[in-house]
Amino acid sequence: MEILAFGVQADEKPLIEHAFRDHHEVRCLDVFLTEDTAPIAAGYEIVSTSVNAELGGRVLETLAAGGTRLVAQRSTGFNNIDLHVAERLGMTVARVSYYSPHAVAEFAWTLALAVNRRIVRAATRTRDFDFRLDGLMGRDLHGRTAGVIGTGKIGEAFTRIAHGFGMRLLGWDVAENPACMELGMKYVHKDQLLAESDLVSLHVPLMPQTQHLIDAAALKAMKDDAILVNSSRGGLIDTEALVAELREGRFTGIGLDVYESEAGLFFLDRSLEAIEDDTLARLVTFPNVLVTSHQAYYTEDALRQIVDATVRNVLDYRAGRRSENVLVPHS
Tens digits of residue pLDDT in 58-97: 999 999 999 999 999 999 888 899 999 999 999 999 999 9
Q: Is the pLDDT of residue 8 over 70?
A: yes
Specify the pLDDT at position 183: 98
pLDDT at 331: 55
pLDDT of the residue at 174: 96
Lowest mean pLDDT among 152-156, 209-213, 315-319: 315-319
Give me the pLDDT at residue 264, please.
82
Is it the case that residue 54 has pLDDT exceeding 70? yes
Question: What is the mean predicted confidence (pLDDT) over 11-30?
Answer: 92
Mean pLDDT computed over every residue of the chain: 95
Query: Which band of pLDDT confidence, cut at 50, 70 and 90, is reported for residue 269?
Result: confident
For the question of residue 294 being annotated catalytic, the response is yes
- Which pLDDT belongs to residue 299? 95
Taking alpha carbons only, the member of 197, 264, 206 closest to residue 237 is 206
Task: Name the most confidently modeled range: 7-16, 168-177, 263-272.
Answer: 168-177
Q: Which of 118, 156, 262, 312 is catalytic?
A: 262
What is the per-residue pLDDT for 188? 98
Q: CA 170 → CA 114, 176, 235, 317, distances in Å?
A: 22, 11, 23, 42
Higher pLDDT, 270 or 144: 144
The 3-state secondary structure of the chain, one letter per residue: CEEEECCCCCCCHHHHHHHHCCCCEEEECCCCCCCCCHHHHCCCCEEEECCCCCECHHHHHHHHHCCCCEEEECCCCCCCECHHHHHHCCCEEECCCCCCHHHHHHHHHHHHHHHHCCHHHHHHHHHCCCCCCCCCCCCCCCCCEEEEECCCHHHHHHHHHHHHCCCEEEEECCCCCHHHHHCCCEECCHHHHHHHCCEEEECCCCCCCCCCCECHHHHHHCCCCCEEEECCCHHHECHHHHHHHHHCCCCCEEEECCCCCCCCCCCCCCCCCCCCCHHHHHHCCCCCEEECCCCCCCCHHHHHHHHHHHHHHHHHHHHCCCCCCEEECCC
212 catalytic? Reply is: no
* pLDDT value of position 52: 85
- As a whole-number percent, the residues of the chain with pLDDT over 70 amount to 99
- Confidence tier at 268 by pLDDT (50, 70, 90): confident
- What percentage of the chain reaches a pLDDT higher than 90? 90
Marked catalytic residue, from 95, 203, 233, 312: 233
Let me know: does 74 contact 96? Beta carbons within 8 Å: yes
What number is the average pLDDT over the span 196-200?
98
Please say whether the beta carbons of 236 and 212 come within 8 A: yes
Catalytic residue, candidates 118, 250, 294, 312: 294
pLDDT value, residue 193: 98
Give yes or no for a contact between 26 and 17, defined as CB atoms under 8 angstroms apart.
yes
168 a catalytic residue: no
Confidence of residue 306 (pLDDT cuts 50, 70, 90): very high
Q: What is the mean pLDDT of residues 26-55?
A: 95
Q: What is the mean pLDDT of residues 44-55?
A: 94
Once rounded to an integer, what is the mean pLDDT over residues 8-29?
Answer: 92
Q: Is the pLDDT of residue 321 over 70?
A: yes
